[in-house]
């Protein structure tokens, strides 16, 4: 993600690059034509680099702030598949992650002497979701609700994601 904005102090830009992966092992507990129960577990990795370039009001030069963030932690969950009418699958799922990490902050030019590292304390994210799949055409409807554990440093965070996809 990248963008520029013009301000009275000059041009500013923001760039965000991220990578997320969550390798997991699935263990089918029960498997029949109309019902499946799957448990899964793994590890969540999230690496991002954010940079913000702005005009330095003291030197009229530009200054870039960099934030390098790494988040990681174990995940565990389960998913069920309910088949009905031979062409539909309703598949609710639940997942919990314990996430912690670090963020490194630095600037360029370095004359500002800003180079700090901060720990991100462990917090829990609970995810509820579902998929509704029409098996003949491949059309699916999905929904996800993410809720972060409330701590002294944050408020509850709820993220709602809905998508419609189709296999080609």
Q: How confident is the model over 113-138, as pLDDT tens digits?
A: 678 899 988 888 888 888 888 888 87
Q: What is the mean pLDDT of residues 61-68?
A: 85
Contact call for residues 164 and 131 (beta carbons, < 8 A):
no
Contact call for residues 22 and 43 (beta carbons, < 8 A):
yes
pLDDT of 48: 94
- Peptide bond connecting 109 to the previous residue in cis, omega within 30 degrees of 0: yes
Contact call for residues 64 and 108 (beta carbons, < 8 A):
yes
């Amino acid at each position: 993600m990248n963008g520029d904005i013009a301000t009275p102090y000059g041009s500013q830009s923001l760039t965000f690059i991220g990578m997320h992966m969550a390798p997991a092992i699935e263990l089918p507990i029960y498997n029949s034509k109309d019902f499946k129960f799957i448990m899964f577990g793994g590890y969540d990795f999230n690496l991002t680099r954010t940079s913000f370039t702005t005009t330095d009001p003291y030197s009229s030069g530009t200054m870039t702030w960099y934030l390098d963030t790494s988040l990681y932690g174990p995940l565990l969950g389960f998913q069920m598949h309910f088949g009905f009418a031979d062409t539909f699958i309703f598949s609710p799922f639940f997942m919990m992650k314990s996430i912690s990490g670090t963020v490194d902050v630095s600037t360029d030019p370095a004359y500002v002497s800003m180079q700090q590292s901060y720990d991100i304390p462990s917090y829990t994210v609970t995810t509820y979701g579902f998929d509704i799949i029409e098996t003949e055409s491949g059309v699916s409807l999905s929904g996800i609700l993410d809720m972060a554990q409330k701590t002294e440093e944050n408020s509850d965070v709820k993220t709602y994601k809905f998508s419609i996809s189709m296999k080609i």
